[in-house]
Amino acid sequence: MALPSLQPRRLGRYRDLALILFKYGRSDLFSRAGLEEILAEDLPPSEPGAAAPEELARDLERLGPTFVKLGQVLSTRADLLPDPYLSALARLQDSVGPIPFADVEKTLHEELGARTSKAFREFDPAPLAAASLAQVHRAVLRDGRAVAVKVQRPGVRLQAADDLEVLESVAALAERVSATAARYEVGRLVREFRATLLRELDYRIEAENLRILGRNLEAFKRMFVPQPVADYSTSRVLTMDYVAGTKVTALSPLVLSEIAAGELADALFAAYLQQIFVDGFFHADPHPGNLLVTRDGRLAMLDLGMVAHLTPRFQDLLLQLLTAIAEGRGDEAAKHAVRLGEARDDFRPEEFERRMRELVGGQRDASVSQLATGRLVLQMTRVAAETGLRLPAESMLLGKTLLSLDEISRRLDPDFRPQAAFRSHVETIVQHRVVGALKPENAWTALLEMKDLTQQLPRRANQILERLAEGDVPVRVEGLDQAGFMSACQKIANRITVGLLLAALIVGAALALRVDTDFRVLGYPGLAMILFMLAACGALGLIYTIVFRDE
């Protein structure tokens, strides 16, 4: 099979990636991911300390916005990378120097069809924040509404498109020359990243995400989602409510006590449970920079470029999985995880179940300072990958989201217990899911499925009856656990034998009562009383074993 062609005009980018491989090829980054076979055998080892995780993060920052975003996505892949790299990539900041204000005005004029001075009453030329994809300015509309205007950097879409093509070419090459890269589906990872980045570059999608999340969290009075201004928003410009607030990491202990930070942490946790298990739509990037505490004590959620959608089946299985984890039931957690994922040919179920028991056991009432729920989920994805179970990409993104929530909760309330909070809210979640299943739109879906069943039932029943009449019914026999089966048979045989011996002792004692001897116990013939006492002790022991030890 021919290898993918490399385009000469992108040789500079290929060289940059080759340098990354050269630099980190012998580090624990590639050996942990199992990708060292991609590299040439004669690749020299890196110098000691040269492949530090923090340096990898800086190298990705130097490669530009596409690779910064790639690093942030890789920070969710606990099944691929070691913990030090996950932590370093999770802290990647895509803040860069601001672009000239003339470029901002040009973009606004192209997108809004009017000069900045005409579209806004006030527009601060100094940005509130500057990132690799965009920068944000504070402005005031003509009607006096304070807004934040997010303006995309010029040329970033073209640069992202070129970088994505480079990554796709390299991923295709890696999958063809490396069985490990094919097993970890590097190409699928790049395709998922491409879809995520392109959605993030279209601000119309982010505006719709703000509207959806705002509606879904209306009942949470301590949560605030800024709403977009439709007439001032396009694919490259997003105008939304301005939020004046403080990052969670910058709050003093006095302020935390004034705003009842423990209640705020519980409200945030409950809001995410609602998003994940009821709405099936959640904000997937809740790091401290995207969560601000407002002056009135609410928590504002910003930057909805990265969101995730969950199917009803995924929600049901995930709810069962996290319930088992919260209650410390490792065996059940392992079973739900297997149903959630897809077993590869090399899946080792016994090892996965054993490691899940070790992972979940003893975590029931740990505080957030002792246990990170998100890290537990990410560790589960790593255990799954190492034992041959492929979990959905949503589970890894969910683990990253929960990991960020753990950090926020720790900042707000060091004694906050996510497991206990989950158990306290799970009843409400189940009620919402049951009520949601009874909604008219879901009822119509059930009726249509019932209609299909009614139409197909006679034909299928006729096929079954014909095969029964012809004796053409295949029988599938699943192998039994022979060791367990033989052990059960031995128990039954032993019980029957003991019962017969006890019965014989009782009969013998009754016959011995008729034999008159000088040896007596409690006024009765001694031999008969000894046989009766042996029978009584044996019967009590058998009853105890049956009642208290048998399952």
* pLDDT digits 0-9 by tens, 60-108: 888 888 888 888 777 766 666 777 777 777 767 656 778 999 999 999 9
Distance CA 110, CA 136 (A): 17
| 428 shares a domain with 366 | yes
Higher pLDDT, 421 or 315: 315
Residue 35 lies in a domain: yes
Considering only residues 421 and 197, tell me which one the structure prediction assigns the higher pLDDT. Answer: 197
Q: Are residues 181 and 268 located together in one domain of the fold?
A: no
Same domain membership, residue 543 and residue 396? no
> Averaged over 263-289, what is the pLDDT?
88
Average pLDDT value for residue range 21-29: 60
Least confident of 141-155, 250-264, 514-528: 514-528
What one-character DSSP code corresponds to residue 27? S
In a domain, 510, yes or no: yes
Residue 16 domain-assigned? yes
Structure tokens at 128: 């509130």
Does one domain contain both 539 and 451?
no
Q: What is the pLDDT of residue 93?
A: 62
Are both 362 and 312 inside the same structural domain?
Answer: yes
Task: Give the range of the structural domain holding residue 41, as residue numbers without chain letter.
Answer: 8-93+177-192
- Which residues does the annotation mark as catalytic? 285
Between 522 and 317, whose confidence is greater?
317
Give 205's pLDDT tier (boundaries 50, 70, 90): very high
Give the pLDDT score at 102.
Answer: 94
Does the residue 78 lie in any domain?
yes
Same domain, 402 and 509: no
Q: Which of 30, 13, 3 is nearest to 181 (CA)?
A: 30
Q: Is residue 538 part of a domain?
A: yes
pTM of the model: 0.70
Indicate whether 36 pLDDT > 50.
no
Structural domain includes residue 288: yes
**In this structure, is the dihedral angle defined by the CA atoms of residues 365, 370, 376 and 382, taken in order, positive or negative?**
negative
Can you give the pLDDT at residue 368? 43
pLDDT beyond 70 at 1: no
Q: Is residue 422 located within the same domain as residue 520?
A: no
419 and 455 together in one domain? no
Whether residues 33 and 46 fall in one domain: yes
Together in a domain, 434 and 447 = no
Residues 431, 446, single domain; the answer is no
Q: State the pLDDT at residue 3.
A: 47
Number of domains in the chain: 4
**Distance (Å, rounded) from C-alpha 462 to C-alpha 527?**
72
The residue-averaged pLDDT of 134-151 equals: 95
Residue 459 lies in a domain: yes
User: Among the ranges 12-16, 275-279, 363-367, which has the highest mean pLDDT value?
Assistant: 275-279
Q: pLDDT confidence of 369, banded at 50, 70, 90?
A: very low
Is 372 found in the same domain as 511? Answer: no
User: Is residue 208 domain-resident?
Assistant: no
